[in-house]
């Protein structure tokens, strides 16, 4: 292993393993859940499959119509409601003015939850609420209505993790999994927390298991699976399995949803081959392709810190990652924000010594 590769791997290890210990060990075997807020009869499952196909083809209006009909018949299905929300948010983002804005969608979801409170309506309103305190209050209301709602415990765990309240997040996550061991969103969060606080081999096993169990599940967002594959590739690099990481990255190149993510894959493969200057150039080009994507900035930070001996440049990149993570609310942003906080906390003493400033995460 080259010295540069060893340094970059050490930096990666500090990011994933630094901080307090969290979920310990790889999870036991589990199967996808069929709880009261997830259960669908087979005809409805096939409609969701069709909605996924239409979404992949860019037919968002048609996909929305299919999901709206499923949700009309199954109003307590939180997974279907979340899928429909994601499509509505994509339609809102087109800027044409033909669809409700994100703020209007949030207000409408809150109105529905207030008129006819149910765990599903309250959690869907919390999911897109602009105010974290309002979102937490809605989650608490959902738990008052149904203390055995795994989705509500998971939602609280996710929000606590986003605030770096790891011990509380783990407690709520374990409550969700005690109620529903096959709750796939909770298992995905668990894998991310194992990656932060457990052994690399346990994290690899957790991600591989989640990917295996979630395969073919129409209510699992393909973007979540792609993000998990990218995390798994990084874990393989951390474990010294460069060939496995490279094979995995190459295998998903065609699935990468943007040129920025393809650039990230290229940067990772260049780094694994010891071509760090080309890797850094690829990461910078990826960041230019999509300034809202934090992953190219993570790669730049790792390279600058490990391969180029530029801690000040690395801190600047981590600050940008943290800022982007605060603007987004999905799980990938949460995990990248976790990594940025650990890196900035670790770099603070060195920043004080050389007279540069390190921000408070």
CATH topology (fold) of 23-278: 1.25.40
Domain spans in the chain, listed from the N-terminal domain onward? 23-278
> Is 158 a residue whose pLDDT tops 90?
yes
How far is the C-alpha of 140 from the C-alpha of 147, rounded, in Å? 9
SS (H, E, C) 153-217: HHHHHHHHHHCCCHHHHHHHHHHHHHHCCCCHHHHHHHHHHHHHHCCHHHHHHHHHHHHHHHCCC
Higher local confidence (pLDDT), 164 or 49: 49
Contact indicator for 282, 267 with CB cutoff of 8 Å: yes
pTM: 0.76
* pLDDT tens-place string over residues 317-349: 999 988 888 776 565 666 677 778 888 887 765
From the list 190, 275, 264, the residue with the least C-alpha distance to 233 is 264
Q: Which residues of 54-75 are buried (b: 16+ CB within 10 A; e: fewer)?
A: bbeeeebeebbebbeebbeebe
* pLDDT tens-place string over residues 42-77: 999 999 999 999 999 999 999 999 999 999 999 999
Phi then psi dihedrals of residue 331, to 5 deg: -65, -40
Confidence of residue 8 (pLDDT cuts 50, 70, 90): very low
DSSP code for 17 = H
DSSP code for 29 = P
């Amino acid at each position: 292993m080259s010295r540069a590769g060893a340094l970059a791997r050490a930096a990666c290890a500090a990011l994933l393993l630094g901080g307090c210990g969290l979920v310990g060990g790889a999870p036991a075997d589990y199967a996808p859940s069929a709880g009261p807020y997830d259960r669908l009869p087979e005809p409805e499952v096939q409609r969701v499959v069709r909605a996924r196909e239409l979404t992949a083809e860019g037919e968002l209006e048609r996909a929305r119509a299919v999901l709206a009909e499923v949700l009309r018949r199954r109003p307590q299905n939180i997974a279907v409601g979340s899928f429909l929300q994601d499509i509505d948010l994509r339609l809102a983002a087109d800027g044409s003015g033909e669809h409700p804005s994100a703020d209007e969608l949030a207000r409408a979801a809150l109105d529905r939850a207030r008129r006819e409170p149910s765990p599903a309506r309250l959690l869907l309103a919390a999911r897109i609420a602009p105010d974290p305190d309002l979102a937490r209050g809605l989650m608490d209301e959902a738990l008052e209505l149904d203390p055995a709602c795994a989705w509500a415990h998971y939602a609280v765990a996710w929000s606590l993790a986003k605030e770096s309240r790891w011990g509380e997040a783990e407690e709520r996550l374990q409550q969700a999994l005690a109620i529903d061991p096959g709750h796939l969103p909770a298992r995905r969060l668990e894998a991310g927390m194992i990656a932060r606080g457990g052994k690399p081999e346990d994290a690899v096993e957790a991600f591989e298991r989640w990917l295996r169990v979630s395969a073919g599940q129409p209510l699992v967002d393909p973007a979540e699976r792609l993000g998990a594959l990218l995390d798994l590739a990084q874990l393989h690099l951390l474990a010294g399995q460069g060939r496995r990481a490279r094979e995995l990255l190459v295998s998903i190149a065609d699935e990468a949803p943007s040129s920025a993510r393809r650039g990230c894959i290229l940067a990772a493969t260049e780094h694994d081959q010891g071509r760090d200057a080309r890797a850094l150039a690829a990461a910078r080009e990826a960041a230019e392709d999509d300034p809202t994507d934090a992953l190219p900035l993570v790669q730049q930070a790792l390279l600058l810190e490990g391969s180029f001996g530029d801690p000040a440049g690395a801190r600047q990149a981590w600050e940008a990652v943290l800022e982007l993570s605060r603007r987004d609310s999905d799980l990938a942003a949460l995990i990248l924000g976790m990594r940025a906080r650990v890196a900035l906390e670790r770099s603070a003493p060195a920043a004080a010594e050389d007279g540069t400033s390190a921000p408070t995460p």
